[in-house]
Structure 1
Amino acid sequence: MFRRLQLKMTVYYTLILIGILVATNLSVYLLMVNYNNYQIASEIKFMLESIESSEWLYETDTDADDLPEADEASIRPMFLSSGDETSNDKDDDEDDDDEKEDDDGKYDDDLDVPKQTDSEPEIETSTAIDETQTSGEDESGPESIEQLILPKTEDLLIPKILDSFSFYAIYDNQDHLVRRKSDNEDVFNQLVDKSMLIKEGDTPSVAEVRSERELYYLIAKMPIIIQNQRLGHYVVFKDVTLVFETLRNLVKILIYSFIAGVIVSVGIGYLIAGRSLKPIIRAYESKQVFLANASHELKTPLSIIMLSTETLEGEVDESKTFERGIITGIKEETMKMNELVRNLLFLARSDNHTIASAKEELDLSVLLSGESDKFKRFATAKAIAVEEIITPGIRYHGDKRLLAQAFGILIDNAIKYTKEHGQVVIKIENVQSVKHVSARVTISDSGIGIPTDELANIFDRFYRLDSSRSKETGGHGLGLSIAKEIIEDHGGSIRVNSIENIGTTFMVDL
């Protein structure tokens, strides 16, 4: 009994501890997720700051002083001017040529060939200037207009910040890949496919790719703008796998710790339940010892009272009705007391597992029929019809005395709670189940019945439906609990169906 109670208490304590564990782990998990989101947000912020700080240049944007003199001539011009400004620049060039001619003489010292005079170039340049001026006046008028000469995307100087990213790809205006950085072609191709789903200028997003393991990258797609002109776009990929791996590993730790916590919670719950039950068990054991001793000590005086009462009953003349009535009352109350003491002693021994059981092969049909005959005179006194449906020859291995006691309790209750002119049916039969054949004893009555909400409690010790029934029928609420103890000790089961004011049926399977 206490073992079952301890198991129930263990379940309750364990559920409480698991609830605390779940709440704690869930809080830690949400905290980790928030921290993971914070790290991703920080990576996105750093990524955007790096991209915004980068500057796309081409050769004319580079300081000429920083380049070697041999490369100055190859610097691509950024602007092309038209109109009078072009003519003035060419006149300045002619003046420079005149100065060089005066200083160096007519012949080139190194090559020992005549130098070319400026007369012919002047005519050609003048013609070129006139054509340029004429062209400028025809197309744009007298005003000077600057025309931007844009470089090709592949000629751009890549910002150094791009080298800090794991991968990048640069595209021209026709979405042709012109430059890239890649250490793993498979991963790069998957990232490029993912980047197709992202719009230029959107907030960087996380993409998952698969290689030898799961990888996570932040993807950002940005346009290439120079002098308010779009030359294409570029995509950068930042590896954030470590952030997600950290979260995944922490989740695994939480799962393992939860499993370990459940196991520990079961152990702690069992220990707490055991300690909580110790004082209860001590008190219950003390009560059981007292009941056993008291019951045993009461048997002797009760036996003496019964013997004395029977002696007096034989000595008193039948004409003395008053005296005989007193003796009969003493005898009946002594019998009730004796039954109570016997039941208490049985339960005490049952709890201590000290009931002497002598199991043997027996005929249940004969045993049940014999118990039915014992109570027929009580049924006749109330005009109750007792019907027996006995299948002969049903064999069973059990304790004859204890089984007779259990059947007697059920038959006695059926007759007690059946009103006059009612009916009690006692039946025994073999029932075929999936695994084996069992004997089923059914005892039905047409009595007052049991309320549905009380059916679960009728096998509890000292449980009575109401005080009025106790006064009418006697008893102390121990019979059904004893019957259940005996039947379950034999490996059987007992069930009950009842409808108020119609009747009750008890079914015993052995």
Structure 2
Amino acid sequence: MKRADFFKKHENDVFAQTRNRLTLFYSTILTLFLAVFVALALLIFYIVVNNDQEQTLRLLSDREVGMAERALDGSGGAWREQERRDLSGNQVFYYVTGNEDELIINNDNYEELRELYMDVVEEWETDGIEVKKVEIDIPENDPLFEDFKELELNLMVLARPVMHEGDRIAMLYLAVDNTFYTSVIKWTVVIFAGMTILFSAIGLLVSRWMSKRALEPVEIAYNLQREFVSNASHELRTPLSVILSAAEALGMENDKSNPFREKMLGTLKHEVKRMSGLITELLALAKSDSEQKSLKLRKEQFDIRPAAEQMVESFTNAIRTKGLSLKLDAPVPIEVVGDRDKLIQLMYILTDNAIKYTSAGGHVEIKLKKQNHKKHDDFIFSVSDTGIGISLEDQKKVFERFYRADKTRSRKEGGYGLGLSIAQSIAEAHGGAIEVESVPDRGSVFSVKISFEPEAVQQARTTEASVKQTLI
């Protein structure tokens, strides 16, 4: 089976579609829950680490500012005269600048990088405590930084003014190395993202299993119902045929003296024909539901114009009875590739549907045309009428089984809501599509488009393949 045929087959399987929807729904819920959990966990981890680093900087700044205040009131020594401070832990630099931006006190882990550190603190002034994160970019081609080009530095820097009697006398800058924590956070994000993908995949498999288990009872019941419809339809055809034959035989007798008898025979024949039509449609649906049957289209290349003309001829009495006009617009010939019986049935369904729902004095037009392309041809069949039309809401459901937009009118015309569903299954079995355009009280247009490869193209490809095989 070709890949395109494989996907087409599954697209037409209502249970496969339902399983896919349920799988998508379950897996989406599980993935969203997992994603929210991971996001919250990462956010909490980031906040805890960030707050811990900020708290460290604030404690260091509190100590230094306290030393400054004691030095200024004479109880703590000459703070401004100290030129060095011992760096503690992961501290990167400690700078104090005066009001003229002169560097009063400095200490850093790498003196060679002081220029880069100073780029961070220059023109940074604040009226309160301010913390920001910066990444130090080491120039790669500068020989002065040759020993540091592999170094990664992510800093958390605190700026705080040193105040005395309400005036700012200096600016204090403290920085700690945040590279390790940044790396930890990055790898945590990567690990959690990988775990999210892994568990999402597991969730997808679990969702698939859950949806399959949930649909098993429904699918079993559906298959039993379908089998029952098929068997019952087959069993009912024989007695109905016998009843209809008996009614017709009774009607052929010359005794016309009993009007009641004639009326009952007419009613009996009418209802038997209606039931036979329903059974025929049910059998068609049962066949279209069977995967084995849907794959056995007897495709052939033929001229569909004569079949369309014969179909129009069969509707002559119905057209004359309702006072309608019927027109066929089709080129001669119009060669198509497909199952002859199924395509004729498709045309018959749409034409019969248009005649049923068009009032006296209306018009029905059948159009057949073929569009030639380089690699394939398109067969387009459309039926337009000036009937009652279909509302926009009903257009979305009109191809559903047993759906009837106007139930009273449908029952009166003998419709069961199965014809359009059968037409759609025939079009899709040929790899085509059926559409409807309609305006209430103005009419409807049903269009079918089926793409196919002409027999000549198929033969050419077969010949080419045989030649290639011979050469090999």
Q: TM-score range by the shorter chain?
A: 0.7 to 0.9
Check 1:234–1:340 CA distance in 2 against 1; reply closer, same or farther (3 A cut): closer
- Aligned pair partner of 2:327 in 387, 391, 395: 387
Corresponding position: 1:366 with 2:306? yes
**CA contact under 8 A between 2:152 and 2:179: conserved in structure 1?**
no
Aligned to 1:218: 157
- Aligned pair partner of 1:351 in 279, 284, 289: 289
Check 1:459–1:372 CA distance in 2 against 1; reply closer, same or farther (3 A cut): same
Check 1:383–1:437 CA distance in 2 against 1; reply closer, same or farther (3 A cut): same
**CA contact under 8 A between 1:54 and 1:159: conserved in structure 2?**
no
For residues 247 and 410 of structure 1, the distance between their equivalents in structure 2, rounded to whole angstroms, comes to 65
Check 1:187–1:219 CA distance in 2 against 1; reply closer, same or farther (3 A cut): farther
- Residues 2-17 of structure 1: pairs in structure 2 closer than 5 A: 2-17=15-30
Aligned to 1:144: none
**CA contact under 8 A between 1:438 and 1:509: conserved in structure 2?**
yes
**CA contact under 8 A between 1:384 and 1:421: conserved in structure 2?**
yes
Aligned to 2:4: none
For residues 390 and 164 of structure 1, the distance between their equivalents in structure 2, rounded to whole angstroms, comes to 88
Residue identity matched to 1:363: D
- Aligned pair partner of 2:178 in 233, 240, 258: 240
**CA contact under 8 A between 1:316 and 1:324: conserved in structure 2?**
no
Residue identity matched to 1:327: L
Check 1:180–1:283 CA distance in 2 against 1; reply closer, same or farther (3 A cut): same
Aligned to 2:234: 296
Aligned to 2:214: 276
Check 1:336–1:42 CA distance in 2 against 1; reply closer, same or farther (3 A cut): same
**CA contact under 8 A between 2:86 and 2:107: conserved in structure 1?**
no
- Aligned pair partner of 2:251 in 299, 303, 313: 313
- Aligned pair partner of 1:208 in 96, 113, 134: 134
Residue identity matched to 1:309: A
For residues 23 and 229 of structure 1, the distance between their equivalents in structure 2, rounded to whole angstroms, comes to 48
The offset of 1:319, in angstroms, is 5.6
Corresponding position: 1:335 with 2:277? no
Aligned to 2:119: 193
Aligned to 1:134: none
Residue identity matched to 1:348: A
Deviations 1:223-252 (A, max 9, x none): 598x99999665432223333333333233
Aligned to 2:82: 156
Aligned to 1:471: 411
Deviations 1:301-346 (A, max 9, x none): 1222222223222234456554333223222221221121121122
The offset of 1:260, in angstroms, is 2.7
SS of the equivalent of 1:166 reads strand
* Structure 1 spans left out of the alignment, 5+ residues: 63-77, 79-149
State the TM-score, normalized to the length of structure 2. 0.79
The offset of 1:213, in angstroms, is 3.0
Deviations 1:355-378 (A, max 9, x none): 353221111222222222211210
The offset of 1:448, in angstroms, is 0.8
For residues 206 and 195 of structure 2, the distance between their equivalents in structure 1, rounded to whole angstroms, comes to 16
Residue identity matched to 1:50: R
Aligned to 1:96: none
Q: Please tell me whether Structure 1 or Structure 2 has the larger radius of gyration of its CA atoms.
A: 1
**CA contact under 8 A between 2:84 and 2:107: conserved in structure 1?**
no
Deviations 1:179-205 (A, max 9, x none): 643444564322211111332774152
For residues 90 and 306 of structure 2, the distance between their equivalents in structure 1, rounded to whole angstroms, comes to 97
Check 1:360–1:165 CA distance in 2 against 1; reply closer, same or farther (3 A cut): closer
SS of the equivalent of 1:277 reads helix
**CA contact under 8 A between 1:384 and 1:420: conserved in structure 2?**
yes
Check 1:354–1:340 CA distance in 2 against 1; reply closer, same or farther (3 A cut): farther
Paired residues, what number?
420
* Structure 2 spans left out of the alignment, 5+ residues: 1-13, 139-150, 451-472
Instruction: Kindly report the root-mean-square deviation, in angstroms, between the aligned alpha carbons of the 2 structures.
Output: 3.3
SS of the equivalent of 2:396 reads helix
- Residues 50-61 of structure 1: pairs in structure 2 closer than 5 A: 50-52=63-65, 54=67
- Residues 427-438 of structure 1: pairs in structure 2 closer than 5 A: 427-431=367-371, 436-438=376-378
SS of the equivalent of 1:457 reads coil
